[in-house]
Amino acid sequence: MQRRQRSEERFYLKSGNNLYMSRIAKKPITIPEKTEATFSSGVLTVKGTLGEIKKTFRPEITIAVANNEITLTPIRQSLDVLALWGTYASHIKNMLEGVNKAFEKKLIVEGIGFKSDVKGKELHMALGFSHPVHVVIPDGLKVTAEKNVITVSGIDIELVGQFVAKVRSFKKPEPYKGKGIRYSDEVIRRKQGKKSV
């Protein structure tokens, strides 16, 4: 217990009995135009021009929606609760942004004979295996595949990130020729192959 208290003291600067806490979460979050937000029974609902997102939040952080603003208040000053405070603020900002402007990530499929195509609600890929790879596209995501560039977009940043990471995991880029699936902004550290004598 004493060790935990010492770690909290090192993590947060003290001024009297107050702790300097999250810079992100201590400011009220402004709700954009044409956007509605309601909080009830631990569930925050955000509606915008592109759709609706619902997320459940733990009771350690009090969330209040009033005067076109969302305010977050921790119920106690402890390391775990203060960590949630900033995290929840980031989640809410992403929700407010996503319902008005969709998040987008791109993957590049690189390799001889590697192909990608969207058929109905599935992403079909040929990745050099003895079998094709089929991935079901979750509801709420829009996926396109053109010239071996897979584009994933949606209002939920977590859903977009999880799906893109799942697709990339089927064939991670190797460091010699760069073959595989990589993010469009990902830089692959290349290794030099063995030289024949």
Average pLDDT of each block of 10 consecutive residues along the chain (197 residues)?
Answer: 50 45 75 94 95 94 93 86 88 95 95 93 94 95 94 96 96 86 84 62
- For 37, the token pair is 């937000």
Task: Provide the pLDDT for residue 3.
Answer: 56
Q: Whole-model pTM?
A: 0.80
Could you say which of 81, 98, 115 is where a domain stops? 98
pLDDT of residue 32: 93
For position 114, what pLDDT does the model report? 93
Lookup: tokens for 55:
């997320």
**36 and 91 part of one domain:** yes
Q: pLDDT at position 193, please?
A: 63
Residue 117 and residue 193 in contact, taking contact as beta carbons nearer than 8 Å: no
Whether residues 118 and 178 fall in one domain: yes
In which element (H, E) is residue 80 found? helix 79-98
Tokens coding 93: 């900002």
Instruction: Kindly state whether residues 90 and 107 are assigned to the same domain.
Output: no
H or E, element range at 26: none
> Has residue 188 been placed in a domain?
no
Domain count, the chain: 2
The CATH number assigned to the domain holding 178 equals 3.90.930.12
Residue 169 lies in a domain: yes
Q: Which of 38, 35, 56 minimizes the C-alpha distance to 47? A: 35
Locate 9 and state its tokens: 């003291």
Same structural domain, 65 and 143? no
Same domain, 66 and 152: no
Residue 18, token pair as written in the block:
């107050």
Which amino acid is it at 185?
Answer: D
Residues 92 and 110 both lie in one domain: no
Q: What is the pLDDT of residue 2?
A: 52
Q: Residue 81's pLDDT is what?
A: 84
Q: Residue 123 is part of which domain span?
A: 103-183
Domain boundary (78, 98, 118) is at 98
Q: Which of 98, 125, 150 is the last residue of a domain?
A: 98
197 assigned to some structural domain: no
Please tell me what DSSP assigns to residue 87. H
